[in-house]
Amino acid sequence: MRKMLPGFGVVGTPNSVRAYVPLLRSYGFKVVALWGRTKEDAAKVAAELNIPFHSSNVDEVLLNKDVDIVAVTCAPHMQAPIAVKALGIGKHVICGAPAGPNQVDSLRMVNAARYYPRLMSLTIYGLRFLPAIDKMRQLIVDGYVGDISICEVKVHFEKIKRDQFDWMCDGTMGGGLLNEIGSDIIDVIGYLTGQKATKAHGMLKTYTKQTEKIKGIREITSDDFCTFQIELDQGSCVTATINGHIAGPFQQEIMVIGNKGRLTVKGADLYGQKNDQSKEELLHFDPINFKEEERHGVSEKTRTFIPTPYLKGIIKFIEAVKDAFDKEEERQSYCTDPILNATDPTMRNKIFLACAIVLGVCVSWAVCCDEGVCVSIVSKCLLIKSCDCDMTSLKNCTCCKDCQLCLSKLYTECCSCVGLCPKPDPDDDLQDGSTIEDLHDPIPELFNVLTEQEDIEKRWTTFILPVHFDVLAHKSNHGILDLSKDKRQEVTKDTYGADLNCTVAFMSQCYSLRKCKESCKSMGAARYRWFHEQGCCQCIGDTCISYGLNSPKCLQCPPQEDEAENQLEEVNKLIENTVDEEEDLDEEFDEDEDELDEEEEEEEEDRGINELKSVG
């Protein structure tokens, strides 16, 4: 048995830290350092939790000689650089879920973890270690449900209102139910089924935008309701709903249905029912053991912000980490057996899936060629020449039927890969369309003051055009959705005098329809126009006869193609580097093993010579 467990350095001061620190100490870990965003935050939490060292400089925590493991519990958008730096200086890393707010950040962390394979690098997915989930997975492997067809998840609770505005209120910084709970759900579905996602679709909504303590110019943008659907690579489908507007205790159900029966985890208990049974049976009962939780430092307050299933899983997770270090004598080394649940080889794919949904990247069901989905089936069909069609005459396609049969269920997604599908119409009204609406009680004087000079902060760009140009440029029947309740009378270029000008302001950033309306109303505009494809918002003054300019002119919306291409190149490079580095590491390990074998042979030869000499 080891004499001392490694020391922890905690990065971040969220509410969950008040649960993690007592749990770590209850298993024998020392928490020796704490980082906070400000000196005040760090000092307050360190004093509350009796942590000897605190700082607002993250390097002082990472370089602390007593810190062997870094627990990264800060905002998701800050996790990647801290985790990568910690691994780079030889520290083990345990990171809160989700691992970064986007795919690029997650890839950096995965890349660093692959590069330092001897260091522990885990994401805190507590549900993996929940005994009911572990039992459920074993029963699925044993064939209890048969072939999996449907996974259904429901999470109902009342989201706690924040006392102050922080990253959990901001969707772009990683706040919201999809990040907080959805990432765990996505991970555990992959863990239970062993399948990868091929398609995903989701919807996020924010219904509570302001509270008694968060109001004025502040507005909550993190989602408090989300639902998503996923299709898995073996034909199974997943549907999940996370609702933060239902008063009462936290309720969570994870159901896996197959052709032989179903398994359901309700809270921390497991139920099952075979198709030939008339009712459910209790397969695993896991009641709350208050005395045990108190021994681990869990307070009543802790239970209010960490639901019971997740709390039980986190306790088991920390226990597994403790066992991993206990099985080795050296302070920095650990055994992988106790933490296999957190390090299975499909973790990387789940991180990618979680990031894709968090970013709202929904895989299209049918528009263009999706190489990730189609490469296998298209290669097969081209190899057997089922889709080697002559498309010079569309009316006389000699192999269209054979190709359609070969592509089978993936025909809609993959037909464009072989040239069978017509190209998308670039003049589609959905792409060129816009939404318009008159605003009640405009304030022309305010709008004129805000737009008469260039905005120093570049929040909007002003355009001034003659009224007659405004009338002639307006096409009233092309892709425009008019939300105005009271339709205005048709006007002509003679309605107003020729001396008047029309003033419009294009917001620089991409806006949602609601935010466009609210922003234009706050400027005193008479109406607004929101362009569907770009998300570009145009606020229109009261002297304009119609609805401003027909083309979007927002400075930073949509983002420049160069930026998107650079980000894609960065992702591709990270993936390539990861693969190359894994190959290099394998070669290094092989060389090390060969050197060790040679050294052992030499030692054996020397030992034999010495024995002969002693005998002589």
Are residues 409 and 524 located together in one domain of the fold?
A: no
Q: Is residue 101 part of a domain?
A: yes
Query: Average pLDDT for residues 584-602, to the nearest whole number?
Result: 63
Q: Is residue 345 part of a domain?
A: no
- pLDDT tens for 393-403 read 555 566 777 77
The rounded distance, in Å, linking the Cα atoms of 546 and 538 is 12
Are residues 216 and 255 located together in one domain of the fold?
A: yes
**Domain boundary pick from 300, 327, 354:** 300
* Range from 68-72, 285-289, 474-478, 569-573 carrying the lowest mean pLDDT: 474-478
The rounded distance, in Å, linking the Cα atoms of 171 and 219 is 11
Query: Three-class SS of residue 208?
Result: coil
The whole-angstrom distance between residue 567's C-alpha and the CA centroid of its chain comes to 17
Q: Is residue 161 part of a domain?
A: yes
The band of 596, judged by pLDDT with boundaries at 50, 70 and 90, is low
| pLDDT for position 577 | 60
Asked if pLDDT for residue 137 goes beyond 90, the answer is yes
Query: Average pLDDT for residues 555-575, to the nearest whole number?
Result: 58
Are residues 467 and 614 located together in one domain of the fold?
A: no
Are residues 155 and 209 located together in one domain of the fold?
A: yes
Asked if pLDDT for residue 495 goes beyond 80, the answer is no
Query: Three-class SS of residue 156?
Result: strand
Query: Average pLDDT for residues 81-85, to the nearest whole number?
Result: 90
The band of 298, judged by pLDDT with boundaries at 50, 70 and 90, is confident
Q: Is residue 555 part of a domain?
A: no
The rounded distance, in Å, linking the Cα atoms of 228 and 175 is 17
* Range from 104-118, 166-180, 597-611 carrying the lowest mean pLDDT: 597-611
Considering only residues 258 and 593, tell me which one the structure prediction assigns the higher pLDDT: 258
- pLDDT tens for 186-213 read 989 989 998 888 888 889 999 998 888 8
Whole domain around residue 378: which residue ranges? 371-418
| pLDDT for position 564 | 46
| pLDDT for position 289 | 82
Instruction: Enter the DSSP assignment of 418.
Output: G
Q: Is residue 548 part of a domain?
A: no
Are residues 210 and 271 located together in one domain of the fold?
A: yes
The rounded distance, in Å, linking the Cα atoms of 477 and 547 is 12
Q: Is residue 352 part of a domain?
A: no
Q: Is residue 243 part of a domain?
A: yes
Enter the tokens of residue 591.
């060389």
Are residues 205 and 287 located together in one domain of the fold?
A: yes
**What is the enclosing helix (H) or strand (E) of 178?**
none
Are residues 113 and 133 located together in one domain of the fold?
A: no
Q: Provide DSSP, 255-321.
A: EEEESSEEEEEETTEEEEEETT-SS-EEEE-----HHHHHHTT--HHHHHHS-HHHHHHHHHHHHHH
CATH number, domain with residue 234: 3.30.360.10
The rounded distance, in Å, linking the Cα atoms of 18 and 222 is 23
What proportion of the chain, given as a percentage, has pLDDT over 90? 29
Angle at 411 between CA 410 and CA 412, to 5 degrees: 95
Instruction: Enter the DSSP assignment of 497.
Output: -
The rounded distance, in Å, linking the Cα atoms of 540 and 447 is 9
User: Which residues, at least 6 apart from 110, have a Cβ–Cβ distance to it below 8 Å?
Assistant: 348, 351, 578
Are residues 460 and 490 located together in one domain of the fold?
A: yes
- pLDDT tens for 314-334 read 999 998 898 888 887 776 778
Give the total number of structural domains in the chain: 5
Are residues 54 and 183 located together in one domain of the fold?
A: no
The band of 295, judged by pLDDT with boundaries at 50, 70 and 90, is confident
The band of 354, judged by pLDDT with boundaries at 50, 70 and 90, is very low
Are residues 326 and 386 located together in one domain of the fold?
A: no
- pLDDT tens for 12-67 read 988 888 888 999 999 999 999 999 988 999 999 999 999 999 999 999 999 999 99
Question: Which amino acid is it at 394?
Answer: L
Alpha helices for 416-560 (secondary structure H) = 429-432, 444-451, 467-473, 513-523
Are residues 95 and 223 located together in one domain of the fold?
A: no
CATH number, domain with residue 90: 3.40.50.720
Are residues 133 and 263 located together in one domain of the fold?
A: yes
The rounded distance, in Å, linking the Cα atoms of 333 and 325 is 7
